[in-house]
C-alpha cells in the first residue's frame, strides 16, 4: 500500500485556527519575558500592537529572510539574550 498525502478538509482548517488562537491567548497571560522575532523581509507583523499590549517584545531582524538565525545570526543572538 502506498502512502498518499491528502488535503485537509475546511472543517479541519477551522479547528487549527481555533487551537492556534487559544494557544496565543494562553501565552498572552504568561509573566515571563517574551519576544516575537521576525525577519525584516516578512513585512509588517499583523497583530503587532496587540502583542506589544500584552508585553511581548517584537524584534525585527534587519536584512533577514525566512530563517533569521542563518540570515542574521547577531540579531538572533541579541534578541534571545535580550540585548538588542
Say which DSSP state 1 is in: -
Q: Which residues pair with 62 in a beta bridge?
A: none
Residue range 22-50, pLDDT digits in tens? 666 666 666 778 888 999 998 898 889 99
Say which DSSP state 9 is in: P
Residue 32 φ/ψ, nearest 5 degrees: -85, 165
| Position 6 pLDDT exceeds 70 | no
Q: Which residues pair with 64 in a beta bridge?
A: none
Does the pTM of the predicted model rise above 0.75?
Answer: no
Other Cβ atoms closer than 10 A to 49: 9
Helix (H, G, I), strand (E, B) or coil at 47: coil
Helix (H, G, I), strand (E, B) or coil at 38: strand
Amino acid at each position: 500500500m502506498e502512502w498518499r498525502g491528502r488535503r485537509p478538509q475546511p472543517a479541519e482548517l477551522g479547528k487549527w485556527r481555533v487551537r492556534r488562537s487559544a494557544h496565543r491567548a494562553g501565552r498572552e497571560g504568561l509573566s515571563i519575558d517574551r519576544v516575537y522575532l521576525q525577519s525584516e523581509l516578512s513585512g509588517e507583523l499583523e497583530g503587532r500592537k496587540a502583542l506589544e499590549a500584552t508585553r511581548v517584545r517584537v524584534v525585527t531582524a534587519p536584512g533577514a529572510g525566512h530563517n533569521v538565525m542563518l540570515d542574521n545570526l547577531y540579531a538572533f543572538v541579541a534578541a534571545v539574550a535580550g540585548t538588542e
